[in-house]
Amino acid sequence: MDKNIQVVGFRIGAETFGVPISIVREIVRVPAITAVPNAPDYIEGVINLRGKIISVVDLRKRFGEKNIQPTKKDRIVVVELNERSVGLLVNSASEVLKIPPSEIEAPHDLFQDGEVDYVTGVAKLKGRLVILLDLNKVIRRSELRRLDDLAVSSAEWETTEPALK
């Protein structure tokens, strides 16, 4: 008997997505986000999470959502990608889903092309579908380096410019 796969489930719009629980560090309410000049539109900015500067990517914008309204349910899912912490802004996140491998289907050819090659599978769970993601493909290495640069420059500003606050 195969062990269930554990993923952290979160919502973007009406859809439920899942990422491996092993890369999720924590889920936090959305604090004040400091905007970063010249960042792509899907990068909300950076947050200070217990003294660590973390870049925040709005997955809703990354996935093409048009009508984004902030709500009290919005959350930041802090994940570890290639030894970097990144915050993912989503509509809600609160559950660990245990999915039997037999309920996961490989992504169809539609998901393999171009921009949606980050879908690793679609799981059927209690009458709903959960889209499983490979965050290393959602956020590419070059973007991770840019996020690092944004976090470092923001951290430097935070520590060297206290008179401006």
Q: Can you give the pLDDT at residue 161?
A: 47
pTM listed for this prediction: 0.83
pLDDT tens digit sequence for 108-122: 765 555 556 788 889
Q: Cα separation of 31 and 40, whole Å? A: 20
Residues 23, 78: Cα–Cα separation, whole Å: 9
The pLDDT value recorded for residue 73 is 94
pLDDT digit string, tens, across residues 30-81: 999 998 888 888 889 999 999 998 999 999 998 888 878 889 999 999 999 8
Query: Tens of pLDDT along 120-141?
Result: 889 998 888 999 999 988 887 6
Task: Tell me the C-alpha distance between 15 and 134, whole Å.
Answer: 16
Give the Cα separation of 165 and 161 in Å (integer).
Answer: 8
Q: Domains in the chain, ordered, with CATH?
A: 5-160 (2.40.50.180)
User: Mapping DSSP to helix (H, G, I), strand (E, B) and coil, where does residue 146 land?
Assistant: helix
The 8-class DSSP code of residue 25 comes to E
